[in-house]
Structure 1
Amino acid sequence: MPSTDAAPLTPLALSEDLPPATVMPIWTPEGPMALWRSVGGTLSLAADRCPHRGMRLSHGFVRGEALSCIYHGWSYDQGGRCLRIPAHPDLEPPASIRVATGSVLEAGGVIWRARADDPSLPPDFPGFVPLRSLSFAVSRDVISRTLGGESAGPGILKGTLAGSAVILLCAEQAEGTSLIHLLAPADATLDQRIAVSRAAETLRRAAETGTTEAAA
């Protein structure tokens, strides 16, 4: 697997979707990864494959400050080093047993894939808060054309849904699909947020079917 620090700054997930002591699967240009948050709240990113039998670590569980594989319970710290092999409790795992890791940042309720060698900080979106994430079975370009908005930077679209200004953080996924993190006005009412959420689903249908069904 190539170095996981080669990818540019990319939105991965919303903070509220990854509470302490949880792990979730994500996709990056390097391949599938496991994004997890320790009991203490520390974010970590690891290759989604246990070196032992290849089981996906995103199917595992978090205990304390370690991520454990669900298959045989091998545990890894936030730097990817193997801490414990339950079948051999007295064995100190060799340093060679480890999983590749990546860098992540968290800002404004969004978790970003970062580069260890790049000091860039995630963009700031004053007046907007995360609303939800949606998977689209089309590329970012198709979503942009369907939305009819404007680009505000790499992978960042500004537009209107249900009469409200919105920001879409677009992360390209495998096989031409996309993951969208939707930001809505911070002062939007509950009814307005519901309307924006429903309009986002309409946008998805329009983008995936190639129709002109209005989302705004």
Structure 2
Amino acid sequence: MPQNIAPAWIPVALSTDLPVASVIPARLKTASLAIWRAQSGAVSAVADRCPHRGMRLSHGFVRGEALSCIYHGWRYGKSGNCLAIPAHPSLTPPEAIRVATYRAGERDGVIWVSAEEVAADMPSNEGFVGLRSITLSATAETLAACIGADLIEDAIDWAIDGMRARLLTAPSGEDGALLVHLLIDSSATKAQKIAASTALETLRRQAEAAANRGEAA
């Protein structure tokens, strides 16, 4: 199991961003991942690199319960093993050909990844729904300071015009970027969703401005 991301559940995407039979990229500190959803709906996470020629698997495609590389079509299962090599249809791929896998799952509309084989339960966000995700150049502490809220286990509770909202944060890449998922009350109206999305953009500008001034770093 790869050990280059933190040993805890990390929010990498919203469930709505990963339809059935699709794959998306995710960046975490020193790990680039391909997150994919099989036809059955199961979510998997693998290193974003095909062992054959190094092509990003997040550029690939999902058919049934397998993820295929866009380059030469090498097909991988949920456990990371190579299932088939189109150029050699009669060959049974050896077990040594496999892509590194991460533990993945989803709860309350959020997709989580863990580097641990056995981890605690995924965090609960019952009563919220995912609205959108952004990446910004500021720390989670700076983000929390901008709205006068507490950062608790990489989550920030936020009231937007009296409506409940929550920000889930995770480091994204080696450049210090921060991935932020906005969750809002599941009873929110369309107008409230628009207002929340606008508020998030304003918060992004405030946090990046504060980071540039060296505040709450």
Q: TM-score normalised to the size of structure 1?
A: 0.90
Aligned length: 210
Give the gaps of 5 or more residues in structure 2.
212-217
Alpha-carbon spacing, 1:30–1:79, altered in 2? closer, same or farther (3 Å): farther
Give matches, 1:81-96, under 5 Å.
Answer: 81-96=81-96
Give matches, 1:156-195, under 5 Å.
Answer: 156-174=155-173, 175-195=175-195
In the TM superposition, residue 208 of structure 1 has moved relative to its aligned partner by 1.5
Q: CA RMSD in A?
A: 1.9
The equivalent residue for 2:125 is: 125
8 Å contact kept, 1:149–1:160: no
Alpha-carbon spacing, 1:41–1:4, altered in 2? closer, same or farther (3 Å): farther
Structure ranking higher on relative contact order (CA contacts 8 Å, 6+ apart): 2
The equivalent residue for 1:214 is: none
In the TM superposition, residue 141 of structure 1 has moved relative to its aligned partner by 2.0
8 Å contact kept, 2:7–2:116: no
In the TM superposition, residue 58 of structure 1 has moved relative to its aligned partner by 0.3
8 Å contact kept, 1:4–1:101: no
In the TM superposition, residue 188 of structure 1 has moved relative to its aligned partner by 1.8
8 Å contact kept, 1:7–1:30: no
The equivalent residue for 1:62 is: 62
Residues 36-84 of structure 1 deviation map (CA, whole Å, 9 limit, x = unaligned): 0011111111000001110000000101111011011111000000111
In the TM superposition, residue 163 of structure 1 has moved relative to its aligned partner by 3.8
Give matches, 1:44-55, under 5 Å.
Answer: 44-55=44-55
Identity %, equivalent residues: 47
CA distance in 2 between partners of 1:171 and 1:75 (Å): 30
Give the gaps of 5 or more residues in structure 1.
212-216
Q: TM-score normalised to the size of structure 2?
A: 0.90
CA distance in 1 between partners of 2:203 and 2:5 (Å): 33
Residues 115-142 of structure 1 deviation map (CA, whole Å, 9 limit, x = unaligned): 5433411222333221111111222222
* Matching residue's letter, 1:188: A
CA distance in 2 between partners of 1:186 and 1:16 (Å): 14
Partner SS, residue 200 of structure 2:
helix
2:36 is aligned with 1:36: yes
2:138 is aligned with 1:155: no
